[in-house]
Chain A
Amino acid sequence: MNKSASITTGGTFRFGLLLLAMPLLLWLFLLVILPHVDLFLVSMRERISYGKYEFSLINYIEFFAEPLYWNTYVRTAVMSIFATALTLIIGFPVSYYIAKVMRGKGKNVLFLMCLIPFWVSELVRTFGWMILLRESGVISNFLQWAGLADGPVEMLYNDAAIMVGLVYTSMLFMVVPLVSVLDSLDDSLIEAGYDLGGNTFTVTRDIVIPHAMPGIASGCIVVFMLTLGNYLTPNLLGGKDSLWFTEQIYTQFITRFNWESGSAFGFLLLILSSVIVWVGLKLSKQTLSETVG
């Protein structure tokens, strides 16, 4: 209250603030809001003939009428949620170990090890997985050498490969917020929990997880958004059945020249991610300001 009052009273101060906020405002307006408005307008028109367009909802109607687009949409959402959950399940013990069990140098080393894969680009990491998983790849050869498989084993080009790639790609974005939030948990609280007769399960459930909730929520939001919007990993690891919604948008824009339905799909993806994040926050009883701040 005080702050806003002082802003409105002092004219020069207000101008200064505006000037300071200018880069942010310009960035938001020119690079976020304006393109989205344009995208929305493009999505609301229909091509009549060469260079002629008319207002229409056909692009959205088409999305609902064609089961293919629907299926891809739902599939992408479900797989993204699953990948997020998997990342959390794998990431939580790792973060707990780094934040609470390790001490001193070992802690930094472990944290660094989580970070190192991210020094190379996503493309290179994905190709790394392809080298490991492909029929003539490292794992297949190892299995044959060890006598566990008779012939070459193909592990690429299926949903499991996509999942592996997605979880691997987003692991860091789960571990970082979790480590920082677990770091802030006082050890004495955990000890007190045990002193009062709790076991590992009850202490984790009643003390560690409630405390870590903002970190879990923000980690999940970031991972979910990254996964939902990922193009490279599903495309390269998924092969002929990959079917990811971003791929669908790319195809509409680039190979079909159909900017109208591409824009509509883009908007639908935006709505999907917003709704799922909102529902997730409601279910976990978190607020966005708490999670981000």
Chain B
Amino acid sequence: MSKKHGALRGSLLSLTALAGMVSLVSAAQAEELRLLTWGGYAPDEVVEMFEKETGIDVEVTLSNNEDMISKLRATGGGGFDLAQPSQDRIAGAQLEYGIYKPIDLGKIDNDKFIPSMLDATKSNTTVDGEVYGVPHVWGTSGLIVDTSKAAAVKDYTDLCAPEVAGKVSYRLKRPTLIGFAYAMGMDPFAAYGDEAKYQEILDAVEAKLIECKANVKTYWEGGDALLNLVRSGEVVAAMAWDTGGWKLNNDNADITFVAPKSGALGWIDTFALPRKTKNEDAAYKWINFVMQPEIAAKITASAGNFTASKGADEFADDKLKAQFQGSFPPADLDNIKWYPTVPAGLEVLEGKTLDRVKAAQSN
């Protein structure tokens, strides 16, 4: 798509100046922040409060990790003023496509962040000495289990048990590969730097997933589709995000999020500046605005996940806190495996594995 636009612009040189003037005028009239984010991270209430306080309009585009990189890659980092990729997906994409711009830490209220999370994100998103991301929302992925029907499911590999045949679902994406690898007693994150070793792990996981395929009802794609499958009872155990489990728990006390024995996978979604951002100031304003504890609590309420904002826990919903503590006893909390930065090239290997699993005959 971008190429088409690029070509169009190139051939209509005479119009470019005019178009530029027009866009300058409109920018002056209403300041705008184009935010590329996940569902629930910019609830209407917060957007309205921000507009009232700063006069900046926020245009929200919902996305996911792969889609964010693809969108920004297509425009060379243009079209958006602020993006929210996961922390492990920034450095690789930056090295490969150069779609982000370093964050000026001086413009951010550092004391609003939980220090350990800020440091971890900074070190994970550093490329050539520049920091490209600061943390916003964090959460885990693990298992959603209907405890009345599939109480035996305690780990990823239990999804392949005959008792739940035809009633499980997971995504065919990299978290599944990593989750299964851990459940099979391997350590994929430790093998990140060693392609041959990682390939060995992938091969073992591939064999397991192919064997397990007959058990799977369908590979889910969107979160809502999965929630429907579980709600209707067609699926009794699935690999999914924690929030989904808690959402279902509100409707049906039997269904909840379970941290797998081998450890839930922890992710942190960040703030990152696209390289061609047109309104950097508004982006910093938004970051500092949503990191205020009261505002962060509102985002927690809408997204279902906790934020890296210091002190926001106090404002969070008690029910959600109780659900969180129910799913994560202290030992499980320490056992969360945080995603390290994905080295380039690994995703190609993973892609081929996923393709082969998808193509394998299940019955």
Contact = CB atoms under 8 A, between A and B. Distances in A.
B331 interface: no
A255 B173 contact: yes
A115 B213 CA distance: 39
Does more than half of chain B's interface fall in helix, strand or loop, or is it mixed? helix
A243 B358 contact: yes
A56 to B, nearest CB: 15
A51 B98 CA distance: 9
A257 B4 contact: no
Interface in B1-52: 3-4, 7-8, 11
Interface string A232-256: 0001000111010000100101111
Contact of A258 (B11, B97, B351, B361): B351
Contacts of B217: 154, 157, 239-240
Contact of A50 (B96, B216, B358): B96
B201 to A, nearest CB: 19
Nearest to A31: B4
Contact of B3 (A38, A136, A239, A251): A38
Interface stretch (B64-72, B133-141, B251-259): B64-72
B223 interface: no
Given A30-B4, A71-B359, A134-B234, A254 B70 contact: yes
A175 B70 CA distance: 39
Contacts of A34: 3-4, 7
A230 interface: no
A38 to B, nearest CB: 5
A68 interface: yes
B359 A240 contact: no
A35 interface: yes
Interface of B: 3-4, 7-8, 11, 66-67, 69-70, 73, 95-98, 166, 173, 213, 216-219, 221, 232-234, 344, 347-348, 351-352, 355-356, 358-359, 361-362
Contact of B347 (A72, A136, A235, A257): A257
Interface string A16-54: 000000000000001100110010000000000011000
Nearest to A49: B344
Contacts of B173: 255
Question: 3 closest pairs, A vs B, by CB?
Answer: A239-B218, A136-B232, A256-B351
Nearest to A254: B70
B83 to A, nearest CB: 15
Contacts of A235: 221
Contacts of A35: 3-4, 7
Contact of A251 (B96, B166, B232, B351): B351
